[in-house]
């Protein structure tokens, strides 16, 4: 079965640019995951010290979920699924961030 390609790609080899794009997506995923884990952990500790336990628990559980998602990527190497799942947990914490009071 032939893979359909754009007409312009018949004139040059685009394999190198595809690997660059895959690497860019992978490094972006790593950066958002590691930075997200560190930031969510800091928010969780901050809210725990302010005795806002419900927000602290939500941010801590989202931190754990993103960590599990990162481990899942190392295990299965399915970047698309991990990016979608990770973004779901980032969107999950948006309402909890609106509930907290930052003075």
pLDDT (tens digit per residue) in 10-60: 555 556 565 888 888 889 989 988 998 999 899 999 999 999 888 899 889
DSSP state of 93: T
Judge whether 75 lies within some domain. Answer: yes
Return the closest-CA partner of residue 100 out of 37, 41, 58: 58
Scored b (16 or more CB within 10 A) or e, 56-68 reads bebbbbbbebbbe
Whether 33 maps to a domain, the answer reads yes
- Residue 44 included in any domain: yes
Whether pTM exceeds 0.85: no
Q: Is residue 19 one of the residues assigned to a domain?
A: no
The count of structural domains within the chain is 1
- The pLDDT value recorded for residue 48 is 93
Which stretch of 2-6, 34-38, 61-65 has the lowest confidence by average pLDDT?
2-6
Which residue reads 């930075």 in tokens?
35
Q: By residue range, what is the domain housing residue 61?
A: 26-99
In DSSP notation, 47-91 reads: HHHTT-HHHHHHHHHHHHHHHHHHHHHHHH--HHHHHHHHHHHHH
């Amino acid at each position: 079965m032939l893979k359909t390609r754009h007409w312009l790609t018949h004139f040059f080899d685009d394999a190198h640019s595809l690997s660059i794009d895959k690497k860019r997506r992978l490094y972006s995923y790593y950066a958002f995951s590691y930075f997200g884990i560190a930031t969510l952990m800091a928010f969780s500790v901050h809210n725990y010290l302010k005795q806002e336990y419900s927000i602290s628990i939500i941010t801590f559980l989202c931190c754990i979920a993103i960590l599990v998602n990162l481990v899942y990527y190392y295990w299965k190497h399915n970047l698309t699924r991990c990016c979608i799942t990770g973004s779901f947990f980032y969107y999950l914490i948006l309402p909890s961030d609106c509930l907290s009071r930052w003075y």
